[in-house]
Structure 1
Amino acid sequence: MTATDNSRDNKDVWRPHVTVACVVADGDRYLMVEEEVGGRIAYNQPAGHLDDFESLQEAAVRETQEETGWRVALTHLIGVHQWRSHEHGDVVVRFSFAAKPLSHDPQQLLDTGVRRALWLKRSEIEDLGDRLRSPMVLMSIDAWLAGQRLPLSIVSDLMPGGGHP
């Protein structure tokens, strides 16, 4: 690599969207988000983008609270999924975590675009069909149901200050 190659503009470097999601189970029901995306109603787990200076685990907990009003504790990493979004055409790399619900604030204002949080059975989620935000929704639930649970320690956090500047 030449000096010119080293100094190439950051715009030339391809970057996927790094996202997190939480499978939050309560018996046979799963916490879901009904949201407006590109002029349509879509359903997803609580999920969102990783912010700068934030660990993946912090992002998963934050996104769940912002989108649902539920405070959760992560229990496991379910998997890492890669997919090309039909919404924007970019690649998404999604870290799916399992979490247990701790407490709910029904007065909390939810993220922009989120209409409501709801608890659905797996069959009800599957029945949503193309209204699911991505195939990763059922993929992560099915992986959790199949017993796919990796220790949280598998995801290293080397951010200064434990994830915050």
Structure 2
Amino acid sequence: MNTRWKPNVTVAAIIAQDGKFLLVEEHTPEGLKLNNPAGHLDPGESLADGCAREALEETTHTFRPTALVGVYLSRVQRPSRDNTRAEDITYLRFAFCGELGEVQVGRQLDRGIVRTLWLTPDEIRASASRHRSPLLVRSVEDYLTGQRYPLALMHTDLSVLL
């Protein structure tokens, strides 16, 4: 039987404030890594709604996407180890910038997230060995060059939301 290949769709929040970017430090199979607030798109949500949800879950801040920064494709290959099988995963990431809102009092960081931190672009570049994905720095660089696309570029058919 042939299995159809499908990439994992993820959404990421590129959150900038006062010359710094909000990142998360999270547990991964490779140890503690830095990432944009990001995660998998859930069934029944638009890309922008998924990004807002992931930002809230990983930072405890509300976030309202206002523009698409970019669409990225990457691949992770992990060898088998410690009774786990090898993985070959392709990610299709939609990165958004927007407006950071207030902390939701009483909310906990999502499982696996150790902390949030604000880093300058130079600090992000200098910490490349700690990045979960090369897309972290790429999306920040695209943001810094002013790359923005209107949210109207994307359409979510009503059938997705039902």
Task: Quote the offset at 1:110 in angstroms.
Answer: 1.1
Relative to total residues, which structure has the larger strand share, 1 or 2? 2
Output one character per residue of 1:29-86: Cα deviation in whole Å (capped at 9) or x when no partner.
1110000001500000000001111111110000000000010111100110001024
The aligned counterpart of 1:147 is 146
Three-state SS of the structure 1 residue aligned to 2:129 is helix
Q: How big is the shift at 1:156?
A: 0.8
- Determine the structure 1 residue equivalent to 2:158: 159
The structure with the larger Rg is 1
Residue ranges of structure 2 left out of the alignment (5+ in a row): 79-86
1:48 aligns with 2:9: no
How far 1:107 sits from its partner (Å)? 3.2
Amino acid in structure 2 at the alignment position of 1:36: H
Cα distance in structure 1, aligned partners of 2:96 and 2:18: 17
Q: Check if 1:102 corresponds to 2:101.
A: yes
Cα root mean square deviation, aligned: 1.5
The letter for the 2-side match of 1:126 is: R
Stretches (4+) displaced over 2 A: 86-89
List gaps (5 residues or longer) in structure 1: 1-8
Whole-Å separation in 1 of the counterparts to 2:105 and 2:134: 29
**What TM-score results when the alignment is normalised by the length of structure 2?**
0.89
Tell me the percent identity.
Answer: 35
Are 1:121 and 2:117 counterparts? no
Which deviations, in whole Å up to 9, do the C-alpha atoms of 1:75-132 show, x marking residues without a partner?
Answer: 1001100010245421110001112211113531111100011111111111212210
